[in-house]
Amino acid sequence: MSRLKIVEGGAKPKEYRKKSENDIDLLVCPECDSRASYDVTLGRHIRNGKPVGGNKQTRCANCDHVLWDW
């Protein structure tokens, strides 16, 4: 590992890898920079004694800012 090849005019920095559907990003609140979040479900109905439907949201655990509307 002691010898390094020097490539003339070469070595571009690696391109940022393409965004794929499996890409993982840290969810950070734009309001308060918190990385803690929780999921809530709004407007659920009860059908046959079981909760159905509703609207899922992910909110900041610190300031309640809506981070994600599903």
> Is 34 near Zn ion (CB under 5 A)?
yes
Measured between alpha carbons, how far is 43 from 45 in angstroms, rounded to an integer? 7
Question: Taking the complex as a whole, how short is the minimal distance between the CB of residue 37 and Zn ion, in angstroms?
Answer: 8
> Is 32 near Zn ion (CB under 5 A)?
yes
> Is 66 near Zn ion (CB under 5 A)?
no
> Is 60 near Zn ion (CB under 5 A)?
yes
Residues 6 or more apart whose Cβ sits within 8 Å of residue 13:
none
Measured between alpha carbons, how far is 20 from 32 in angstroms, rounded to an integer? 28
Interacting residue with Zn ion among 27, 31, 36, 69 (CB under 5 A): 31
